Amino acid sequence: MHVGIDTGGTNVDAVLVDDGIRASGKVPGDRDNPVEHLLEELLDGQQAVERVVVATTLLLNAAVQERLPACTNVLVPGPGLSPERAFHGEANHVAAGCVDHRGRVTEEPAYERRPATETVAVTAKFGTRNPEPERELRETLDSDAASVALGHAAGPGLNFPDRAATTVANARTAGTFAGFASEIDDALDTVGVDAPVYYLKGDAAMLSADAMATRPAQALRAGPAASALGLVALTGVEDAVCVDIGGTTTDVTRVTDGFPVTEPVEAGSLETGYDGVRAVDLPLGGDTRVAADGLTGRREGHASAFGGDEPTLTDALSVTGALEDTGGALDSEAARTAFESFERPRAVAAGVVDSYVSRVADAIASVAPNATRLVAGGVLAPSLADRLADAAGIGESLVPDHAAVAGAVGCATARVSVETGIHIDSARGTVTVSALGTETEPVERGRTFDDDEVATLAIERAREAARRAGAQSDTEMPVNVRHTRRFNVVEKARVAGQVVDATAQVEPGLGVELGGDR
């Protein structure tokens, strides 16, 4: 049994999934210990829980609202273009030292200053070819540094300025992530669930909690990733625009070839080299407060129809008679009363529904201009899907069963994905593997590799990284070897070894098929 938990701005949703959806629930996120209560309600103590997968919008909200701590960005740029190209911290300190393209330390690292903040990022040029200088600098930092992220742990690949930005993002999100993860651990302890915990990445794959803790910026776009993957799992669509209508926000994403489309993620002042689902995140949802002149873009509490005090979009749907079954107790009288404060309640209600529909249609046009199918999730999906499709000029709309908890379904059906870079330099006698971190190990000096050996090694190492990130079986690990190259290293007019590079990815995908066949 997989447990999927999606903690959004308004509600916490959870599902239990094995080869189908066995149970689901939804509680308001503002009550005490929502995860604990939800799991107590869903789990009867009989099911063996294999894994718990969690998505949160907490990091994204903190980033967008600029509530993350400031970071001192310590760089070891060595010679090259101006280090300012990698100045992504609130303070930026340039340290001495140089790692060259073969991972050799050609100048010793030395950091003479003190970080200006408790949050610190350390990134060396070519740090993914040799992690040692970053580790050495970390040792010299004062122990009062609360959170230190190292560039070689950010992921494989070459691009020093981008890696510095990503490392700063990891450092700045680490505290928020750790706090959230410890709340989840406490809730699971309380309800007696002792299963590995995973977190959803923005690219709709997952990582073990430990792996995510070193690169939490990967979780920035977990919210829209969860709902997009959930809608794919529930419907089996290959190509569609997905609209997830939450209480606070509406996420518009796109699916092509059976998986959400991704892009490099930016959020607030954070830039990362991590892929996340391409999403337009509108600040409008079922609980968005309605004023006489329309939607305010603010959420001040629940819809009146669900026990709140103020008129909202959900209430507007109720007043116009468009509100379909929401799966919960609904007080349409309260909705009507809330709108009575307006001079012309029905006109205001119809106006805000129109305005919501047209803003979502604009978002659809920018994310998926040629979409021919719309899939909707969220509690209001049955009430709005057809209207949204009409407004966007899309012929077919689809609201699957369990659409109200699509994000939690996405969590429960995700699988592990890790990108791995391998750099062999047999003239130096080293193999450097970058995946969840960067590690260097010895290899026989002068050894040469043929193409098949390189591919085999890349697949092995990618699977090893995926297992370390929590993947449990090889069937969950289709590997795509993306790039290989190799050439001789000539020293003193003889072939001293080979340099070999390969990158391989255990690909994101559905870990559980729910049998959707669209």
Binding site for another protein (CB under 8 A): 77-86, 98, 100-102, 106-107, 125-126, 158-162, 485, 487-490, 493-495, 499
Nearer to another protein, 81 or 347 (CB): 81
**What is the closest distance, in whole angstroms, from the C-beta atom of residue 431 to another protein in the complex?**
17
**What is the closest distance, in whole angstroms, from the C-beta atom of residue 249 to another protein in the complex?**
30
**What is the closest distance, in whole angstroms, from the C-beta atom of residue 405 to another protein in the complex?**
38
- Side-chain-side CA neighbours of residue 85 (13 Å): 13
Nearer to another protein, 106 or 256 (CB): 106
The strand pairing partners of 277, in sequence order, are: 262
Please give the full DSSP string across 121-138, using - where no structure is assigned: EEEETTTTT--HHHHHHH
For the record, the structure tokens of 110 come out as: 């030395």
Nearer to another protein, 153 or 282 (CB): 153
Per-residue exposure over 71-91, b if at least 16 CB sit within 10 Å of its own CB, e if not:
bbbbbbbbeeeebeebbbbbe
Nearer to another protein, 83 or 437 (CB): 83
**What is the closest distance, in whole angstroms, from the C-beta atom of residue 122 to another protein in the complex?**
16
How far is CA 280 from each of CA 58, 237, 364, 365, rounded to the nearest angstrom?
A: 17, 20, 8, 11
Nearer to another protein, 81 or 292 (CB): 81
Nearer to another protein, 98 or 414 (CB): 98
At 46, the amino acid letter reads: Q
Hey, CA dihedral for 317, 254, 3, 32, is it positive or negative? negative
Report the distance separating Cα 248 and Cα 29, nearest Å.
12
Report the distance separating Cα 430 and Cα 445, nearest Å.
8
Angle made by CA atoms 271, 275, 280, in degrees to the nearest 5: 80
DSSP tag of 48: P
**What is the closest distance, in whole angstroms, from the C-beta atom of residue 126 to another protein in the complex?**
6
**What is the closest distance, in whole angstroms, from the C-beta atom of residue 162 to another protein in the complex?**
6
Nearer to another protein, 355 or 488 (CB): 488
Q: Is 297 exposed, middle or buried (0-12, 13-18, 19+ CB in 10 A)?
A: exposed
**What is the closest distance, in whole angstroms, from the C-beta atom of residue 488 to another protein in the complex?**
6
Nearer to another protein, 442 or 487 (CB): 487
Radius of gyration over every alpha carbon of the chain, rounded to an integer in angstroms:
25
**What is the closest distance, in whole angstroms, from the C-beta atom of residue 153 to another protein in the complex?**
17
Nearer to another protein, 51 or 152 (CB): 152
Residue 108: closest CA among 82, 71, 140, 81: 140
Per-residue exposure over 480-505, b if at least 16 CB sit within 10 Å of its own CB, e if not:
ebeebebeebeeeeeebbbbbbbbbb
**What is the closest distance, in whole angstroms, from the C-beta atom of residue 428 to another protein in the complex?**
12
Nearer to another protein, 135 or 486 (CB): 486
Query: What does DSSP say about strands 2-7 and 11-17: parallel, antiparallel, or unpaired?
Result: antiparallel
**What is the closest distance, in whole angstroms, from the C-beta atom of residue 56 to another protein in the complex?**
29
Hunting for tokens 């899907």 — which residue is that? 385
